[in-house]
Structure 1
Amino acid sequence: MSSHHKTLLPAAVAAGAQASTLGVMGGGQLGRMFVHAAQRLGYFTAVLDPDVASPAGLVSHVHVQTDYLDEQGLAQMLQRCAAITTEFENVPAGALYTLGAHLPAAPGAEAVAVCQDRAREKRHFEQCGVPCAPHALIETPEQLAGVDAALLPGILKTARLGYDGKGQRRVATRAELALAWDELKRAPCVLERLLPLAFEISVILARNADGELVSLPVQQNLHRDGILAVTQVPAPNVPAGLSAAARDAAGRIAEGLGYVGVLCVEFFVLQDGTLVVNEMAPRPHNSGHYSIDACDVSQFELQVRCMTGLPLVAPRLHSPAVMLNLLGDLWFDADGRERTPDWAAVLALPGAHLHLYGKSSAQRGRKMGHLTLTADTPEAARATALRAAERLGLPAF
């Protein structure tokens, strides 16, 4: 860990490009926004992603276009970079173990490996004293047959490689559970009891190698079909005590992992006001995108600071904000014909900040961009966001 303590200075004052090149595994929109933040601070960047048109690769100084486990690609990253991070949790942990053996990695491979496995993740939550939904691991027909009836109705989730609602099935009976497990090809799964949710929140924190920790304001999130649709900050239904409890729980989870980097922890708030942890992501998160426009330090700048040993400062929310996720569905009319959304109508609204990710084609359910609406008050931000949603044909919230 000692290598983390060396401050990696930007290109303007560093001796040569390698000493100030930051590498990111993955070339999606999170990587793109990380690259922008790193470049703004004067760093060179290198992206490893197999897609020739990856959003991050298109804007980075260097794009290493190989598979994540390709030996030559990893060797290039080792040669070029002074530190490494990841932009999505499904980068093979093996690649991060290889890189982390020689470079400061934020987050480290072990923390990412825990986040990649729902069963390990839930064990970690419990070890940190943070309650999660009652659940059971299902890896064998015997475990399926022995499931406690109290876990139904529930949600069956694949233990690995699930995100944005993928690899999940709602089940109400044992027969539905058996069918769902077959549909998921009998992969190792976790069955979670359905809980009486009031709403969902998230905490995004940054922790450095010295154990210093800062966090963004608590975000309140609305999901549709398992994909984040709306984030509101300040969280409208979260009293100060609940906000403090969520930040404390997220901090314990990070400390228990020895985590270095940006971490998102998602929580359910139940109808009785109880807080239950859902899952975590070892990277910046969709629910923190508003921080680019509404905070004086964004989640992506925090990611750069964690990697480089630059000072961590607590982000300040200077403008209440609402973020709307822009999915590929907006690029199709009611008859399925392709169209361009009416950006002029949206950008005519006060406090509208449009971020499009440079993806080559629109697909339904694919994250194409986000729109952040900032204002002087939470009420004004929400009112403008509702107008933006109406102009784009998005449902109200």
Structure 2
Amino acid sequence: MTLETIGIIGGGQLGRMLAIAAARLNFRTIILEPQADCPAAQVANRQIVAAYDDPAALDELARECRVVTYEFENVPVAAAERLAALRTVYPPPKALEVAQDRLTEKRFLNDCGIETAKFHAVDSQADLERALEDFGGKGVLKTRRLGYDGKGQRVFRTPDDSTSGVFEAMGSVPLIVESFVPFEREVSVIAARGTDGTIEAYDLAENVHRNGILHTSTLPARIGEATTVAARAASERLLAGLDYVGVIGMEFFVMADGTLIANEIAPRVHNSGHWTEAACVVSQFEQHIRAVAGLSLGSPARHSDCVMTNLIGDDMNDVAGWLARPNVLVHLYGKAEARPGRKMGHVTELLR
């Protein structure tokens, strides 16, 4: 293969792991990220230190790269569209537009025939009160944009929970209320679509969250074959509907009867797919690079059962213990400071 360059917008740990995967396939990488010496820049060939929407930086990235991708879904859509006018951008900007607004996302999923929790748009205190009344006083209130890892949310567990002043307390920004879903467990599927329309999906992971942040992903998930088939079919409909290229993550609630309710999508490699670098020959990161570069997708087959555990904040104190255990892959993200709630790395333990 010839040495070509892939641009990556965003310099966090996902960009870091994409750059590592790209290097193994003989690609150079350029990171666009305003923070100097970001995790991705430590392993990439070059970093452009600039804002994600800096016109000159975007034009420079387009000149230097054959294709541009991104590591997080809050890249400004206008920036992605500017790049797309100059250079191929995968996943397409439409995926960003859908994923950045929870109301747009829910409607798009429903249009693809994928069931979600019931929801109402909230643009005022009165909207909030009407929506919660419709849901029996219970529901999850979320900002429509920019929330992640449990941020920008408020839960109403009983009809007695006060709603007074909540819209203003949430910033008087567009919100969405989702109905409670009586699920038994949470799962996710990591799927990829190539430039030729080929789709490959990894086995479903069973996920456990703590304080709104993913704690563990376990393979295999405790689900039946019908649930697996339904999740993969949903991912295929979503990928086709977006004319997608690259890796996508889809999170689901599993109901008592095995049916699925889609929770959210992430148009990028996903935390719940980190296990693939230890338990598959082709990781989600390599799969994404293959897809955006126009190469054949690799097999998503899993060779081992496993548990992936995020290292968050002071979990870094446990690294020495993890390193001493057999059959454990330790991956640290090159972040200088461990703060509460900050993802510092992850470990994947192969079980058999």
TM-score (norm 1): 0.85
Checking the alignment, whether the CA contact within 8 Å between 2:125 and 2:165 is kept in structure 1 is: no
Mapping 1:262-301, distance limit 5 Å: 262-301=247-286
Residue in structure 2 matched with residue 146 of structure 1 by the alignment: 130
Query: Could you tell me how far apart the structure 1 residues matched to 2:94 and 2:15 are?
Result: 20
State the identity %.
42
1:354-395 residue CA offsets vs partner (Å, 9 max, x unmatched): 10000021100000000100132xxxxxxxxxxxxxxxxxxx
Tell me which amino acid in the other structure corresponds to 1:166.
Answer: K
Checking the alignment, whether the CA contact within 8 Å between 1:329 and 1:365 is kept in structure 2 is: no
- Which residue, 228, 232, 238 being the options, matches 2:218? 232
Query: Could you tell me how far apart the structure 2 residues matched to 1:71 and 1:150 are?
Result: 45
Unmatched segments (≥5 aa) in structure 2: none
Tell me which amino acid in the other structure corresponds to 2:33.
Answer: D
Checking the alignment, whether the CA contact within 8 Å between 1:104 and 1:307 is kept in structure 2 is: no
Q: Between Structure 1 and Structure 2, how many residues are aligned?
A: 350
Residue in structure 2 matched with residue 95 of structure 1 by the alignment: 79
* Residue 260 (structure 1) aligned with residue 245 (structure 2): yes
Residue in structure 2 matched with residue 120 of structure 1 by the alignment: 104
List structure 1 segments (4+ residues) > 6 angstroms apart after TM superposition.
none
Residue in structure 2 matched with residue 351 of structure 1 by the alignment: 327
Query: Could you tell me how far apart the structure 2 residues matched to 1:352 and 1:162 are?
Result: 32
SS of residue in 1 equivalent to 2:184: strand
- Which residue, 159, 164, 176 being the options, matches 2:162? 176
- Which residue, 3, 10, 13 being the options, matches 1:29? 13
Mapping 1:5-24, distance limit 5 Å: 9-11=1-3, 20-24=4-8
Query: Could you tell me how far apart the structure 1 residues matched to 2:176 and 2:202 are?
Result: 30
SS of residue in 2 equivalent to 1:349: coil
* Residue 155 (structure 1) aligned with residue 155 (structure 2): no
Tell me which amino acid in the other structure corresponds to 2:131.
Answer: V
Tell me which amino acid in the other structure corresponds to 1:53.
Answer: D
Mapping 1:1-397, distance limit 5 Å: 9-11=1-3, 20-147=4-131, 149-151=133-135, 152-171=137-156, 172-173=158-159, 176-235=162-221, 237-331=222-316, 341-376=317-352
RMSD of aligned Cα (Å): 1.4
Query: Could you tell me how far apart the structure 1 residues matched to 2:304 and 2:283 are?
Result: 13
Checking the alignment, whether the CA contact within 8 Å between 1:197 and 1:268 is kept in structure 2 is: yes
1:103-133 residue CA offsets vs partner (Å, 9 max, x unmatched): 1111111111110000100011110111100
Post-superposition shift, 1:176?
2.9
1:295-318 residue CA offsets vs partner (Å, 9 max, x unmatched): 011000111011111001331111
Post-superposition shift, 1:74?
0.7
Query: Could you tell me how far apart the structure 1 residues matched to 2:318 and 2:199 are?
Result: 41
Checking the alignment, whether the CA contact within 8 Å between 2:124 and 2:167 is kept in structure 1 is: no
Unmatched segments (≥5 aa) in structure 1: 1-8, 12-19, 332-340, 377-397
SS of residue in 2 equivalent to 1:324: strand
TM-score (norm 2): 0.96
SS of residue in 2 equivalent to 1:254: helix
Query: Could you tell me how far apart the structure 1 residues matched to 2:134 and 2:232 are?
Result: 30
Post-superposition shift, 1:273?
2.7
Tell me which amino acid in the other structure corresponds to 1:355.
Answer: H
| Residues 1:309 and 1:215: Cα distance change in structure 2 (over 3 Å) | same
Checking the alignment, whether the CA contact within 8 Å between 2:73 and 2:99 is kept in structure 1 is: yes
Post-superposition shift, 1:30?
0.2
| Residues 1:55 and 1:154: Cα distance change in structure 2 (over 3 Å) | same
Query: Could you tell me how far apart the structure 2 residues matched to 1:303 and 1:90 are?
Result: 18
